[in-house]
Amino acid sequence: MASSGIETILERIHAAERPDRADLSRILRIADPVEMASLTGYADAVRRRFVGNGVLLRGIIEFSNVCRNTCQYCGLNRRNTRLARYRLSRDQILTAVQNICGAGIKTIVLQSGEEDNLDADWLREVIAGIRSFLDAAVTLCVGERSREEYRIWKEAGADRYLLKIETSDPGLYRGLHPGMSFENRTRCLEDLAALGYQVGSGNLVGLKGQTVASLAGDLEFFKRGGFDMISVSPFIPHSQTPLAGEPAGDLEMTVKMIALTRILCPTAHIPASTAIGSLHGRDERPRALAAGANVIMPNFTPGDVRRLYDIYPGKAGCDLTPQRGVAAVERMATAMGRWVDYARGDALRLTRTAPGQDSPREASSDAGLAKALYN
């Protein structure tokens, strides 16, 4: 009986334009394994219907670990003086791009810390260099920048941008990000959407001070933002941060958040993140894939600097060559009755009618996103 009650709530959440806070909180408080199975089963069915059985691959290159920020959870924070800093050259990046291309992957993710003096023209040339020999999607994940920089990179050929909100709770946000502001974060997301990027956001689960209410708020933020990609991943404590002694994010809560994200945002691309593959030294990415996720991001950062991209400890796949990382994903997907999709995997609103979907979602206008984020 309990599970049919759960399904009624899930139906309501799935259908709602503005989900009810009490419904979200009720689901986030699930403790019973039967109810948990109903939740993940429902999310899995939504995933199958809206994005199908393919697992999309994104090849990630972490090209610099230099960062100006002091985010309280992140090992790259500038106060971590024990960490040797690096930045790859254009040629090193292009070599890694060729490896991604050689593996048949058609999305390149360029990620870095938030460098103070990142040269916008340098990055523009890297993007243009990639686009000159490769018809692959380029995704940037280089933090908060000016609208002008976002425009330059879009014009050079960047397609997508990832900028997690980390938490949508303004008080929590302030405490975790000294010197940064929630307003600038949302300004960036609005600029990116207005410039025509496919936009990704997301959060961390298990941050100190985070409550069920703030997680429900994150889900509402995802729904309002109409994001094309949403990454939900567990916090993992890093010794060289102020949160060193805090417990890691809870796996079950992370899985619940992924499932609810899928139910609320049926066409979004949702990764089984590397962090969920790293929690407590076990690879729990299959749990994410079974609860709504449809993307995996194999690491193509060159081996000699890879361990320096030290966001959190014990990063999964750090010791694997890219080829072995991709082979592991192939095995994981196949074992679950899924398959690895080597397509570009653009936002569904730009491509096709998803399996089982009646009509493509309307592209959200920039004004719409701006309004939505502040409502």
Q: Which residues bind ligand 5AD (CB under 6 A)?
A: 73-74, 164, 166, 204, 233, 235-236, 238, 275, 311-312
- 114, 68 in Cβ contact below 8 A? yes
Q: CA-CA distances (angstroms) from residue 75 to 67, 80, 305? A: 10, 7, 15
The distance of closest approach from Cβ of residue 185 to ligand 5AD in the complex, given in angstroms and rounded to an integer, is 11
3-state SS class at 351 = coil
Q: Are 263 and 14 spatial neighbours (Cβ–Cβ below 8 Å)? A: yes
- The total number of residues written for the chain in this structure: 375
Tokens of residue 5, six digits: 């009650």
C-beta of 13 vs 71, nearer to ligand 5AD:
71
CA 337 to the chain's CA centroid: 23
Nearest approach in angstroms of CB 201 to ligand 5AD is 9
As measured in angstroms, the least distance from the Cβ of 41 to ligand 5AD is 27
Between the alpha carbon of residue 339 and those of residues 332, 334, 360, 363, 370, the distances in Å are: 9, 6, 23, 28, 36
User: 24 vs 236, which CB is nearer to ligand 5AD?
Assistant: 236
Give the list of residues 6+ apart from residue 89 with CB closer than 8 angstroms, or none. none
Residues paired with 153 in a beta bridge: none
Q: What is the DSSP string of 170-226?
A: HHHHHHHSTT--HHHHHHHHHHHHHTT-EEEEEEEES-TT--HHHHHHHHHHHHHHT
- From first CA to last CA, the distance across the chain in angstroms is 36
Smaller CB separation from ligand 5AD, 222 or 312? 312
Closer residue to ligand 5AD (CB): 161 or 235? 235
Phi, psi of 83 (to 5 degrees): -90, 125
Query: Which CB sits closer to ligand 5AD, 256 or 338?
Result: 256
How far apart (Å, rounded) are the C-alpha atoms in residues 97 and 297?
14
Place of tokens 């009509």: 359
Q: Which residue has the tokens 């990382």?
A: 325
Helix (H) or strand (E) holding 59: strand 59-64
